[in-house]
Amino acid sequence: MDLLSLFPEWVLVHGPAAIVVLPLMVGALIALSPSEKLSWATTWFVTGLSGLMSLGLLLQVISHGPIAYAMGGWKPPLGIAYSVDGLNAPILLLISVIAFVCTVYALPSVIAEVEPEKRSPFYAAFLLSFAGLMGMVVTADAFNVCVFLEVSSISTYALVAMGSSRDRRALPSSFNYLIMGSIGATFFVIGIGFLYMQTGTLNMMDMARVLQDIGPGDRVVQLAFAFIVIGLGLKLAMFPLHTWLPTAYAYAPSFFTAFLAATATKAALYLLLRFTFTVFDPSWHFISNALMVIIAGLGILGMLAASLQAIFQSDIRRVLAFSSVAQVGYILLGIGMATTLGLTAGYLHILNHAIMKGALFLAVGAFWYRFGITKVSDMRGLGTTMPWTMAGFTVAGLSLIGVPGTVGFVSKLALAQAAAENGWWWAIGVIVLSSVLAIVYVGRMIEQAYFQPVPKINDKYIKRNEAPLTMLIPLWTLALASVAFGIDSHWPTSLAQGAAQVLGDGPILLVRETMPAIPAIPSTGGH
């Protein structure tokens, strides 16, 4: 049965625009809604519909190749173009599915953490953040990337600040995020400005064509690349540009922390891939050196330094936040290899990390919802008092470590294979060492939950008090996905291979073409 036949024609024709325009328009409307439940239901519907549209676009790309959409009928490079191919279609689906799952979770979470008069604006800001991320990923216009980056960022700053109802430290955290995010956006837009000055176009495909004529010796082009990498490095929390992330994750509302951790850095990583491999030419000496020395080098440092920092954190969210910086390091290591296998492994970890880190933060939010738990030391006896929630946390935690049968193992094994193919045997040692450090900080939390006694209040043990179903269902959806795709990784691996094909069909062929023996989706073409 052809799954594409299940989707209405307008989804396949206008889907690239609808997945951005719909949440933008609805977000503006529900900001004025007097009913928080109506706002939640509308957000749930919009994210669900966006997920279905993203799935339709992905299936269309797999079956028929890349999709080009001209906004307003103005053909690029004069008009604004949206493009969906094997590189960004899985990211669009990932963001929309995570948004939908987290919105189900939001119903009790937002009531507990956000003041009543702010709840409708909260959902409105969330839809704007969601639309901004989708726009960043789907647009083929470099200036529009800057616009959507700011749409997402500004709404994110407000959402982090709304966590002040639970913890006043959300306000300085939001301000710190604003400053660092603004610096990153400024660097990025300056880089785009330099590219426009040299190429005279903002369409990414046209920009890549002109850059091939200019060549690698142009100093302005080199400067543009440096500004873009630094700007995106701040946005994706590349070590040591990650300082905004631990506090933002620690004090934002639980629902939004899970969404932010699973999607925001992934969209920025996508942009790094898109610009480095399809706009610029990674065979140019200054880019190949940057990939090997800066991208891979900082990825390695992040894997070790952030993992060590995670071990010594007392706050659960900060443990997981520093873990995210380390996991970004894994992805950067794959990107820095600049081989087909390395890019496949790095992209696969983008997808897999979103699943397991989303589940972890959803569980942590449920811990706070029932018992006000924020510290690792307060997790004592959670295996007894919240068995299903803690079990979901444990499954995702084991995936973060890289236990066989989980998605974490699949992508770490792929990274190790890519490093071996590249002759980077030392990188395999770093992957193993970082995983051992993950055993320490994840194991510390599991030990508290299962091997420490249930605490007492007034000489009475705390009774079992499980999270509500609206929290458990999203948590276990992601936890089970981390196991299902760990046991059978064919589909996510084939998507990652399709993304690597797009990158390999860019300005050059990659250094090596060795691929694992798993069928890939049809080539989606490139520039």
Rounded-to-10 torsion of CA 17, 23, 25, 30: 170
What gap in Å lies between CA 160 and CA 181, rounded to an integer? 13
Domain ranges of the chain: 299-527
According to the model, what pLDDT value does residue 506 have?
A: 54
Residues 6+ away with beta carbon under 8 Å from 64? none
pTM above 0.85, yes or no: yes
Burial 175-213 (b: 16+ CB within 10 A, else e): ebbbebbeebbebbbbbbebbeebbebbbbbbbbbbbee
Helix 340-371 and helix 387-401, axial crossing angle in degrees, nearest 10: 160
**Alpha carbons 236 and 286: distance in angstroms, whole number:** 21
Mean pLDDT by 10 residues, the chain (527 residues): 73 85 91 87 93 91 86 77 90 94 90 86 92 93 91 91 84 89 92 91 88 85 92 89 85 89 91 91 86 90 92 91 92 90 92 93 91 87 89 94 91 92 89 93 91 72 82 93 91 90 62 35 37
Quote the pLDDT of residue 424: 87
Beta bridge mates, 69: 82
Contacts of 201 by beta carbon, 8 Å cutoff, 6+ apart: 77, 207, 210
What pLDDT is attached to residue 505?
A: 65
pLDDT at position 458: 57
